[in-house]
Amino acid sequence: MGQLVKDKVILVTGSTTGIGECTARRIVAEGGKVMIHGRSAGRAAALVEELGEAAAFSLGDLQDPAVAPHLVESTVERFGRLDALVNNAAFLARSNLDNAAVELFDRQVAVNMRAPLLLSQAAVAQFRKQGGGGHILNVGSVNALGGERNLLIYSMTKGGLMTMTRNLSAYLASEGIRVNQVNAGWTLTENEKRIKVEDGSEEGWWENISPEHAPSGRIFTPEEAAAHIVFWLSDQAGPVNGSVFEIEQWPLVGQNASK
């Protein structure tokens, strides 16, 4: 495998499971160093043991505003610098107009919107200390474009994240700091397997998905999403800034629904 992010130090939130975990593995495989974040010490420690000296971990619940600057500080203490931030962590829970509760709204906004903002503040402060440059890569969702009927609050937060990406990219461009986003489509993470079963689907549902929802015959793997993320973190992406890339199997704008 190549060295897309050779010697880059990258903080990835929510990186003990799913897309974040695969991103951490891909960063190390591509020559980088990664600060892993999560809430489970056991999962984080096991992943660091697997990845070796190029990885470390820092724990914390992103509902706590103090965790964001702490993660950046921990990264710099361990590796001496910070080259990129991946705002991957998110809290997903079902909601619609009739059952949206204040407590659920506050929790999803805290994790999915406020934490990326606070992490970006701390990361940019560090980038400036280092003389400028750096990259923020936000991991969103195709639900940012409207969202499923049972993902109201989650979709709202991902729409807000997308707006933040575009706003910050313009604000920071003159400092050589790039801000981009990937909006992940339907991805077969362990959490997604569990959630669909809890919603009533049978075990192994992912082996029989209709072409309407997966024209290729399957949905994305977290490893595939991670490959996109690491590419945008690399110098091969060039000076691309303020872009939102949808990882999906069909056009999300202008497609007529099947009849």
Same-domain status, 200 and 232? no
| Contact in structure between 42 and 154 (CB atoms under 8 Å) | no
Reported as a single tens digit per residue, the pLDDT across 9-67 is 999 999 999 999 999 999 999 999 999 999 999 999 999 999 999 999 999 999 999 99
Same-domain status, 55 and 128? yes
Q: Could you tell me the CATH number of the domain that includes residue 119?
A: 3.40.50.720
* DSSP letter, residue 173: G
Percentage of the chain exceeding pLDDT 70? 97
Domain count, the chain: 2
Longest dimension (CA), the chain: 57
DSSP alpha helices (H): ranges in 110-151? 115-129
Closest by CA to 81, choosing from 19, 20, 32, 139, is: 32
Same-domain status, 98 and 210? no
Return the structure tokens found at 69: 């600057």
H or E element, residue 105: helix 102-109
Does residue 154 belong to any structural domain of this protein? Answer: yes
Same-domain status, 153 and 211? no
In the chain, the N- to C-terminal Cα span, in Å, equals: 44
Does residue 254 belong to any structural domain of this protein? Answer: no
Q: What is the arithmetic mean of pLDDT over 92-112?
A: 97
Domain that holds residue 193: 186-219
Same-domain status, 190 and 140? no
Same-domain status, 15 and 44? yes
Closest by CA to 36, choosing from 1, 108, 86, 77, is: 86
Does residue 197 belong to any structural domain of this protein? Answer: yes
Does residue 250 belong to any structural domain of this protein? Answer: no
Same-domain status, 48 and 93? yes
CB contact set of 51 (below 8 Å; sequence gap of 6+): 24, 25, 28, 34
Same-domain status, 81 and 163? yes
Does residue 1 belong to any structural domain of this protein? Answer: no
| pTM of the predicted structure, to 2 decimals | 0.94
Same-domain status, 42 and 95? yes
Does residue 229 belong to any structural domain of this protein? Answer: yes
Question: Would you say residue 259 has pLDDT above 60?
Answer: no
The residues carrying an active-site annotation are 154
Same-domain status, 35 and 139? yes
Distance from C-alpha of 209 to C-alpha of 215, rounded to nearest angstrom: 9
Same-domain status, 176 and 199? no
pLDDT of 2:
64
Does residue 252 belong to any structural domain of this protein? Answer: no
Same-domain status, 47 and 108? yes
pLDDT of 135:
98
